[in-house]
Amino acid sequence: MPTSLTPEVLAHWIAVAEAKFEAEQAIARYIG
């Protein structure tokens, strides 16, 4: 992870975290 947290970098990591959360929710729903 870059040491400099520019707004662009922060937005990127927020998007990554959201995508990871969505994927985990989808997997949990699929597994049941």
pLDDT at 1: 56
Overall number of domains in the chain: 1
Count of beta carbons in the 10 Å neighbourhood of residue 13: 13
pLDDT at 28: 96
pLDDT at 17: 98
Q: What's the predicted TM-score (pTM) here?
A: 0.64
pLDDT at 2: 55
Which residue range is the domain that position 9 belongs to?
1-32
Q: What is the mean pLDDT of each run of 10 residues along the chain (32 residues)?
A: 81 97 97 88
pLDDT at 3: 67
Count of beta carbons in the 10 Å neighbourhood of residue 24: 10
